[in-house]
Structures are given as C-alpha cells and as structure tokens.
A and B are shown apart, each in its own frame.
Chain A
Amino acid sequence: MELNTLQQDALKELLNIGFGRAAASLSELTGHRVVLEVPEVSIHPITALRPALARLDQEDVASVHQIFSGPVAGDALLILNHSAAGMLKQLLTDEAPLPLDVDASAREVLTEVGNILLNACLGSFGNLLRVQVSFSVPQLNLDTLHGVIESLTVNREGMRYALIVHAGFRLRDAEVRGMLVIVLSVASLDKLIRAVEAWEQAEGGR
C-alpha cells in the first residue's frame, strides 16, 4: 500500500490542523512561541519500519506511547532520540539538563508534549471520521529503537501499517526533530484514507 500524491497532500493537510492545535497548546504552556513544521507523511508496512525511522540517527530513544481504541484502533508514538529529547525539554522548561534516566520531571514534561501532539493528531482523525476514539494514558519509555519496533511487531495479528510523520518543533531559534508513528490495521488505515480523500474533495470543491 502506498499513498498517491493526492492522499499524501490530504493527510498532510489534516495533520497540519492537529499540529496547529498542538503548537498553540505548547506555546500557551511554555510562554514561548512554538511552531510545529508542516508534517511530512509516508506509509510503511510495520515489518519495514526500521529504514523509515533511520532519520532518528541514534539508537537510544525516548518514546511517548498511547493506545487508542474505538472504530479506528491502534498505537500512536512520538519518538525522539535522546539528544532531541534533552534539548526539547530544556527549551521548554529552561532547566539545566540531567540524564533522562534520572530526570523523572523531564520525562513527565516530554510525556505531556507527546500527549498533546498525539491527542491533537488522533483527535483530528476522530473528528474527520465522526467516530469516538478513546485514548490510553500516555507512557514514556526509554528504550532502543530496536526495542520500540519490536514492541510494535510482536504478538500482533493481521497485516498492519504505520503512518510515519516527521515532526519538527521550532522554538527559541532552535529546532528539534522527532517522528510520529501511528500504527493501524489495514482496515483502519483504509477507512482513514478514504475519509481523508472525501474530506479533501469536499474542501477543494468548496
């Protein structure tokens, strides 16, 4: 399954609404102007995630993980490499950095940042599909990229796909890059793409 240009543009536009909402929340929380870059979207089979996440550069990553359920169900993650996680936390809170594994406060702040971004994006999907999506409380894990991918692939049945979104946070003259990974079943993804296409046509026709 691959996205055609029209579908890609439509998904980008939809995600952009979520990104805008998340950026506004983060700006309000931190008192700094936070801009989330226009997302870049691609679709990959879950078995081929590794090369798609190569841009994270480092093996040690912090990931904020939320499970969502309802008519559309799956896993949503924000993945940052350790340097990006540390930098983002410092930019947002002005506190001197500690190693993430001893800095529970930093992990909480990053959890909230991931939470805001994931809620905003998944919320946009829910609104579009006019369905009620429910979320689990977010969890932050410090793991290797390999471990994260493993946790998404083991003991899961059915062909699953990942929507990979490049997310760039810009604030205080600095930029931090991360990856949003939304894992869906074939059926959920199909439903989502069709709804997005319909929405784009309706929007375009207006």
Chain B
Amino acid sequence: MSASALLHAAMLRWLNELSSQGVFTTDVHLTVASWNAWLERATGVAAADVVGRPLLEAFPELAGRRLDRYYRAALNGEASVLSHGFHSHLIRVATPSGHMLQTARVAPLLEGDAIIGTITAIDDVSERVHSETQLRGRIAEAEHARGAAEDALRVKDEFLATLSHELRTPLNAVLGWTRILLGQNVDQEMMTRALHVIDRNAAAQARLIDDMLDMARIVTGKLRLEFAPVDLMAATLAAIDVVAPTAQAKNITIHKMLGNRPLLINADGDRIQQIVWNVLSNAVKFTPQGGRIDLRLGETAEHAQLMITDTGKGISAEFLPHVFERFRQANSSVSRTEGGLGLGLALVQQLVALHGGDIAVSSAGPGHGATFTVTFPLAAADDTQLTLAIGAPSRTLSGRRVMVVDDEEDWCDALAQMLKNHGAEVQVAHTADQALAMISSGDWPHALIADIGLPGTDGFELVRRVRELESGDGRIPAIAVTAYSGKANIRRALEAGFDQYRVKPISSEDVVAAVAGELTARDPREPGKAAGAISQGEL
C-alpha cells in the first residue's frame, strides 16, 4: 500500500474508533454502510446490528419526523445542517436527564461528479446548551437586579421630592402665620387661630421627622424596644382618641368591636400605639366624607388580632404588593391629593415584625375600601402584671419650682409657658453661669431642665456643679433636653449627673410629663422607682 493509502486507511480507523462525533454513512439506497464506535456507545446499537439495514427502517423515527427529506436532498447534492434549536436531535439517545441534544450535518458523498452515498456527522451539544441556558439565566438575573436598583433609585428620587414638599408645607403655614403675628393689629381671636395653626403644623413636621428617624433606626438596627405587657384594647382606644377629631371633621363614623376585656401582648407600649395610630390615621386619610371605619379586636389561642376596615378609596391590585414598601405611594405625582411621606406603613410593618407580629392588607380594588389586619403574639400567661404604657403621668406641678436653662430663647419661653400652665413656678436662665448664680443665691429649684450646648460653661459642667452644691439627701431631678444625640453624649450626661436625657425635637408636653414623672418618683407621698430612662437617645 502506498503511504497515502496507509494514511487514508488510518484516518478511517480513527473516525471509526476515536472520533468524538457520531459518524455514519449510507449508500445511494440509504442502506447503512458504516456506524462508528461513538454511535455504538451513545445509542447502544452495535454496528453489526445496523450496517446493511435500510436507515429509515432501522430508525423509523426519522421518517416520522420528516427528517428523511434531508437524506433525499443529500442524494440530490445538497448538504444540510440540522440544528438542535429546530430539531432537538437526529437519532434519539436517552440520558438520565431526558435526551441528548444534537446538531447534525448530512451531506452527499461524491466520486467525481457522481453521488455515491451520504455521510452524517452528529455532535452532542447537551452540555454546551446547558451552559448557554445558565448564562442566559445569569444575564436575566443581572438585568433584573439592575432593573430593581433603578426602580429603587427612582422611588428614592420621588421620595426626596415628596420629602421637600411635605417638610415645606407645614413650614409655609408656620412662617405665614408667624409673619401675621409679627405684624400690626392682631386681635386675640386671630392670635389664637394663628397659634393653633402653627402648633398643628409644627407637630405634623415633627412627626414626619420622627418617622424618618424611626425608619433610619430600624434600617441600621438601632431601634430599642422596651417590652412589657401592654393592653392592645387600651392602645386601640387611645389611638381612636387621637384620630377622632379628624374623623369627626370628615363625618366618618368609627365602629368599635373591641370586646370587653384587656388583650395583653408583650410589647413596647409607645410603639404599639404608634402602630395602631398609623394604620387608623391612614384609614381616616383615605376615607372620604361620610365614610365608615370598623375596628375589630379578636384573639386566637396564641394571637391577638386587630382588623381595621375602611370604606375608602381602596388599593389597586398592582399596588397591593407594594403597600408596605418604603417611600411607596400609590400616587406619587405632584398632583396627588393625600400628603405624607409614604413611610408610615413601612414603619408599621417593621415595628410589627420587631414585635414578632404580622400585618396584612386586602382590598377588592379601587373604590372598595381596604382592610388591614395586624396580629401580635399574646403575652405569656405568667406576664400577669398589667402595665399600661399609655397615658400621661400626673402633670400637676403646682407649688414646684422648675429651672429652665437654654440659650434658645423661643424654646425657653414656650417651655416656661407650658410649665406655668401646669402650675409650676419657672426660673429661666440662658447660660450655665446665670443658672449657677441663681442657685448659689439660695434659690434652689425642685427640678432642672438644661440644654447641653450652652455658651461658655456647658450643660455637663452645669449639672456637675449643681450636684456638688447639693446637700447629701437633696438630689433634684435634672433632665437634659438637647439636639445632641448619640450614645457617647447620653453616657456623658448621665455620668455628669443628669437623670434623663431627651433629644429635640420633643414637645414641651413631654418635657412637662418627664419632670412630673421624676418629681412623683421622688415624692415620699407617692413612692415609686427612681426613673433613669433614656428616651430617643439611641440614634
């Protein structure tokens, strides 16, 4: 044999035995002429069993799937590609996960210009297709993540626009009425009206900021809850009291089905009230004139459940899944009719979750109202002590002398007026030195409210000197009220001698309540534990 004939024979042997493709040939009558080892292994059909048999008889599926035409075309000179995308496979090969995906090529075999048969080459593309599918999946995931991120950015942008609008609106009212008051010819009636407007708007703004701060604390995991047994019914009644005036103004009827006994849950009382108030005021906000709100309180073996149903504007099916998302509002356009930041319900959901509870919403669609269902785990049976975390302590300050030290004159005046309204006698100082001078002259107050950031001697130093000047058993309550937050400041304040630390913004009523609480705790006629609570200081 010549060298080239030897090589030719070796190539055929290689194709037959070692090729990583399936290769078979037929003659012009489509009788199988060769069947390589790859095909034997893949199909389990031995060459001895198929060579010499008509292809279409050995594999009737080929004609069944009209693939015989590619062989007829090959006998007519045409070469064809059969992609797995269109045909899945040529010769069916079962695999554990289904069947092998194949791409095949069918071509004529020529001797000179004459066609003497056909050749078929088959590639197993299963693995490749699998990795393409995975790649496609990963790309889709990445696209989805990008879409979600863009969406979140857009929602945040809208939130910022809403935020500036929401902060500006009450501010405009405050500024407008303040200018009127500063002008001439203000009678008592107008003065009262102006102060009411200012009070309402400032409170609204403080609430917005509180919501944001709460959300920030939750997001950073810094919200601290003080758990104690709380009566959900009392909390609900308290929340109803708060929204009652607004509901009345809109002629909305509130129906209470609260049962007749306390429903104790282990919770942070202030937060529970915040939760109920938020959901309830939301219902009032979205319920039109003359509407109705139903409150139902119930319990199962392990849970207390509050359902708030309104006849309001309802929620569309598209928005329903997003109700509790931060910064989301069904109508985020500037022309929307309802105010708010879109934080309230997100905050509620987070707070409920922190209590181990659950909140759900349902609505039959726009115009059909909505139902919010809040569920909390019931307090364990041995939590028998009922602590109502709601309701203000005694505010009677009559006969008490309270010293207010703050360099912000407006705040000082407001606080002094509020303390006076509660019967207190008030001493005002704008610097620590002024305050110390008053105390040194023997004019001892019953309680001290002081800012930290004072010009000259600061609040820390002030309370330290006061403590030095005190006689052994005459420790007066001292409350720090300041814009400085942060754990370090709180610790420093308590170490310096303050009993409580409150972060502005805080209503003057809260300060009054805190003073009253401290005084009551120290009064031998009303014995109680000495309070050293930290409030709002975690941020």
Binding site for B on A (CB under 8 A): 29-30, 66, 70, 92-93, 95-96, 98, 102-106, 108-109, 111-112, 115, 119, 123, 126, 132-138
Interface assignment of B49: CB less than 8 Å from any CB of chain A: no
A202 to B469, CA, bound (A): 127
Give Cα distance in the complex from A20 to B129, angstroms. Answer: 31
Q: Is B135 positioned at the interface, with any CB of A under 8 Å from its CB?
A: yes
Q: A105 contacts which of B87, B105, B115, B125 (Cβ < 8 Å)?
A: B125
**A-B pairs with lowest CB-CB distance, top 8:** A108-B83, A109-B85, A134-B77, A112-B83, A135-B79, A29-B86, A137-B79, A112-B81
On chain A, the residues within 8 Å of B82 by CB distance are: 112
Nearest CB to that of B109 among chain A residues? A134
Contact A30 B86 (CB under 8 A): yes
B136 contacts chain A at the CB level, 8 A cutoff: yes
Known: A70-B77, A119-B78. A98 touches B86 (CB 8 A): no
Q: Which A residue's beta carbon lies closest to that of B114?
A: A132
Q: Are B79 and A138 in contact (CB under 8 A)?
A: yes
Q: Give Cα distance in the complex from A95 to B132, angstroms.
A: 11
Pick from B76, B86, B132: contact of A103, CB under 8 Å = B132
Q: Does B257 contact A (CB under 8 A)?
A: no
A100 to chain B, nearest CB (A): 12
Q: Are A98 and B132 in contact (CB under 8 A)?
A: yes
Complex Cα gap A47–B73 (Å): 34
Contact among B85, B105, B115, B128 for A134, CB-based, below 8 A: B115
Q: A98-B135, A105-B83, A105-B125 are in contact. List 17 more A-B contacts (CB 8 A).
A: A70-B77, A70-B113, A96-B140, A102-B132, A104-B128, A108-B125, A112-B83, A115-B79, A119-B80, A134-B77, A134-B79, A134-B115, A135-B108, A136-B107, A137-B81, A138-B79, A138-B81
**Interface contact A137-B77, CB-CB below 8 Å:** no
Q: Quick check: A108 and B110 within 8 Å, CB to CB?
A: no
Distance between B141 CB and nearest chain A CB, rounded to angstroms: 12
User: A70-B113, A93-B85 known; A105 and B79 CB under 8 Å?
Assistant: no
Does B349 sit within 8 A of A, measured CB to CB?
A: no
A29 to B76, CA, bound (A): 21
Contact call B86/A135, Cβ cutoff below 8 A: no
Q: Which residue of A lies closest to B106 (CB)?
A: A137
Closest chain A residue to B86, Cβ basis: A29
Report how far A108 CA is from B107 CA in the complex, Å.
Answer: 16
Chain A residues lying within 8 Å of B81, measured Cβ to Cβ, are: 108, 111-112, 115, 137-138
Residue of A nearest to B105 (CB): A137
CA–CA, A194 and B89, complex, Å: 42
Given contacts A119-B73, A134-B110, A137-B107, contact A105 B139 (CB under 8 A): no
23 contacts between A and B (CB under 8 A): A66-B79, A92-B86, A93-B86, A95-B85, A95-B136, A104-B132, A105-B128, A105-B132, A106-B85, A109-B86, A111-B81, A111-B83, A112-B80, A112-B81, A112-B85, A115-B80, A115-B81, A119-B73, A119-B79, A132-B113, A134-B79, A135-B107, A138-B79
CB closest residue in chain B, given A127: B76
Contacts of A126 in B (CB 8 A): 77
Assess whether A132 is in contact with B115, with CB atoms less than 8 Å apart: yes
Cβ-closest chain A residue relative to B108: A134
Counting CB contacts under 8 A, is B162 at the interface? no
Q: Which of A103, A112, A134 has the most CB of B within 10 A?
A: A134
Q: Shortest beta-carbon distance, B211 to chain A, in Å?
A: 42
Interface centre among B83, B125, B139, B140 (most CB of A within 10 A): B83
Chain B residue contacts of A133, Cβ below 8 A? 77
A102 to B134, CA, bound (A): 12
